[in-house]
Chain A
Amino acid sequence: GCGGGGGGMASCRRLSGAGLREVLGPAQGLLFDCDGVLWAGERAVPGAPELLERLRRSGKAALFVSNNSRRSIAELERRFTRLGFRGVRAEHVFSSALCSALFLRQRLLGGGGNGSGAGRVFVLGGEGLRGEVRDAGLRLAGEDEPAPGEPVRAVLVGYDDQFTFAKLAQACGYLRDPQCLLVATDPDPWHPLSDGQRTPGTGSLTAAVETASGRKALVVGKPNTYMFDCIVERFGVDPSRTLMVGDRLETDILFGKNCGLATILTLTGVSRLEEAQAYMASDSAAAKDLVPNYYVDSIADLIPGLDE
């Protein structure tokens, strides 16, 4: 196997040389986070498109799992192409927007059927997220006249740069019904911008809704494992032969640990090596789960581990 999951703390070893071949050789596939791993803003990480190409030639699967709830899958597919990544199809891409829609479809529509009588979803988020919810067969609150028997059955909090107090109050109104679910796309407190600044994440908006409503949100995104369930359902991935590659210890690496995957931290994104080392030195059991098995400066460093 790849040395992941199971008991014992990971040891945050730099992956290079012979170690690289030992780890990548047996792997059947890699799950990649996107922001800070494949690209930063509008720039692909140098060597990242080549890595994906080499993975394809080696017969290893590449799937993508992102907490970013801004974009629809179709937009993400176009983004891959625009940034120079070839051969990535929509079905390979799992975003928290898509998975939140699938989660709500499961909970509100059960095993299938149409949307009538299932209730509506109040979405705090942009058009990318709203589109995924509609594509899942759900109806959104605030769009056209509600039919009888169509109460709001879920509030979905996503990345919403148009969030306002009024929307917060509206969400709380719906959540007074204990049958109404509170779901969040991801827990990220902030996201980096290309110039080193930060923009507030879904996690900060969810905190406001939770505080106002007295409810805890069901969080779909990493580090929770639901997105992995979606991946397994579509592709039947073997965790013991799959590597998780990410840039954020608290989401990507913990997600890998939770799903029984070996983890690789790449340093082109949010988390610094010192943070991983601090978690490793910590006495807390929870901190140990944030330590990656391996790290690289960039995913381009994985290329020498693949056959020519």
Chain B
Amino acid sequence: AALPGPAPKDWVQAPLDPAVRAVLVGFDEHFSYAKLCQALRYLLRGGPDCLLVGTNRDHRLPLEGGAGIPGTGCLVKAVETAAQREAFIVGKPNRFMFDCVAGEFQVDPARTIMVGDRLDTDILMGNDCGLTTLLTLTGVTALDEVRSHQDSGCPARHSLVPDFYVDSIADLLPALGE
């Protein structure tokens, strides 16, 4: 919908949809101050009766050559800061998605391997859900990061350490027989 005027004091005059009961923050390359403003309006109107949900907290989406673009986590943080409340995060490392998968496919954690490239999402979720965790080095994580978590005295950081690693998931092929 077009903005009803040039400034926030005009935007906040537009009527709110009475049926809205949740604000969901996902990846939005068209994120804007006006949308942030509108999200804040719904959250203030509804108080605890309006959910604040984020799809994930990833800071960056990596591109080739070390560049990256801002991740959903940035937008979630903007809304959380303006509203002074914490979002419920659906994505990894929260176990919600694993519970969805496990519920539908009768997954036995003791016989399941989580394969990922990111310690604070993939590996952390896998470890928290009792899966065997396998780090692949074709993504954002370098091995020395893992070593530094391993060597830290901190139990929270130990949860970021995978059971195993491979240079690439292609390295799994020889283990799968003809």
Residues of A whose CB lies within 8 Å of any CB of B are 160-166, 168-169, 172-173, 176, 189-190, 193-195, 197-201, 203-205, 207-212, 214
**By the criterion CB–CB under 8 Å, are A200 and B32 in contact?**
no
Contacts A172-B68, A208-B74; A198 near B40 (Cβ below 8 A): yes
**By the criterion CB–CB under 8 Å, are B12 and A204 in contact?**
no
Q: How far is the CA of A123 from the CA of B127 in the complex (A)?
A: 42
Contacts of B137 in A (CB 8 A): none
Of residues 63 to 85 in B, which have CB atoms within 8 Å of A's CB atoms?
Answer: 67-71, 73-75, 77-84
- The residue of chain B having its C-beta at the shortest distance from the C-beta of A163 within the complex is B33
Which residue of the partner chain, among B32, B44, B79, contacts A197 with CB atoms under 8 Å? B44
Contacts of B147 in A (CB 8 A): none
Contacts A169-B69, A211-B73; A197 near B31 (Cβ below 8 A): no
- Greatest chain A CB density within 10 A among B7, B32, B60, B82 is at B82
Which residue of the partner chain, among B32, B44, B82, contacts A189 with CB atoms under 8 Å? B82
Which residue of the partner chain, among A168, A172, A193, A194, contacts B31 with CB atoms under 8 Å? A168
Contacts of B31 in A (CB 8 A): 164-165, 168
**By the criterion CB–CB under 8 Å, are B71 and A205 in contact?**
no
Of residues 46 to 100 in B, which have CB atoms within 8 Å of A's CB atoms?
Answer: 59-60, 67-71, 73-75, 77-84
- Greatest chain A CB density within 10 A among B32, B67, B81 is at B81
**By the criterion CB–CB under 8 Å, are B7 and A205 in contact?**
no
Q: How far is the CA of A173 from the CA of B69 in the complex (A)?
A: 8
Which residue of the partner chain, among A161, A199, A204, contacts B78 with CB atoms under 8 Å? A204
Contacts of A172 in B (CB 8 A): 60, 68-70
Q: How far is the CA of A195 from the CA of B68 in the complex (A)?
A: 40
Of residues 7 to 57 in B, which have CB atoms within 8 Å of A's CB atoms?
Answer: 7-9, 12, 28-34, 36-37, 40-41, 44
Q: How far is the CA of A211 from the CA of B79 in the complex (A)?
A: 13
**Category for how many chain B residues contact A:** 20 to 34
**By the criterion CB–CB under 8 Å, are B59 and A212 in contact?**
yes
**By the criterion CB–CB under 8 Å, are A165 and B28 in contact?**
yes
Q: How far is the CA of A120 from the CA of B36 in the complex (A)?
A: 28
**24 A-B Cβ contacts within 8 A?**
A161-B33, A162-B33, A163-B33, A165-B75, A168-B74, A172-B70, A173-B67, A189-B81, A190-B40, A190-B83, A193-B8, A198-B82, A200-B40, A200-B81, A201-B82, A204-B78, A207-B74, A207-B77, A207-B78, A208-B74, A208-B77, A211-B70, A212-B70, A214-B59
Contacts A200-B37, A214-B59; A164 near B32 (Cβ below 8 A): yes
**By the criterion CB–CB under 8 Å, are A199 and B8 in contact?**
yes
Contacts A172-B68, A208-B75; A190 near B82 (Cβ below 8 A): yes
- The residue of chain B having its C-beta at the shortest distance from the C-beta of A191 within the complex is B8
Contacts A161-B33, A165-B70, A212-B70; A200 near B12 (Cβ below 8 A): no
The 4 residue pairs across chains A and B that have the minimum distance between CB atoms: A212-B70, A200-B82, A204-B82, A204-B81
